[in-house]
Amino acid sequence: MTVKLISTIAAGLALTMAMAEVGVAQMYVYPERGQGPERQRKDEFECHEWAVRQTGIDPTRPAPSYGGSGGRTTASPLRGAAGGAALGAIGGAIGGNAGKGAAIGAGVGALAGGIRRNNQRQRQYEAQQQAQAQQNARVNEYNRAKAACLRGRGYSIN
């Protein structure tokens, strides 16, 4: 074996392991023209490179992560309670009972903060789902390109 063939085989094995880690759908490739295992690994690697060039998608590279707030929410029931208590105390002082106004304000503020936090989490979840769906569509595009290349080289794909 030549050094180039060995490095091509090693690269093909590394590619296979990397694709398994990122969750690329398994592609079953059968040589219809009697290609040997070494030739098949070389063809699969070359078709991977071709599919990446054609689509701009490399499923062996980590997908870009969602750039939201990193799963953190900024709304807080405690912050809402504190703000509500302050406003309630002012309103209560005007009405003659600052303590009761503060308690009511804290409850309303906490409820509003909880609702805001829940809404932020829902938006983050929806954005993550949309990003995942887009990544799945991109990987499908890559798989179609790689399958086309392999069919052109005499392989059956399933």
70 found inside a domain: no
Q: Is 11 contained in some domain? A: yes
Backbone angles phi, psi at 61, to 5 degrees: -95, 145
Number of domains in the chain: 2
Q: Which residues, in sequence order, are bridge partners of residue 29? A: 157
Query: What's the CA angle centered on 102, arms 116 and 106, to 5 degrees?
Result: 20
pTM, whole model, 2 decimals? 0.55
Domain assignment present for residue 39? The answer is yes
- Which string of DSSP letters, residue by residue, matches 112-153? HHHHHHHHHHHHHHHHHHHHHHHHHHHHHHHHHHHHHHHHHT
CA 109 to CA 18: how far, in whole Å?
A: 49
Same domain, 109 and 81: yes
Give the model confidence (pLDDT) of 93-130 as tens digits.
Answer: 566 666 766 677 777 777 777 888 888 999 999 999 99
Please give the residue range of the domain that contains residue 50.
3-65+140-157
> Does one domain contain both 88 and 116?
yes
17-73 residue pLDDT tens: 544 444 456 899 999 999 999 999 999 999 999 999 999 999 988 766 655 555 555
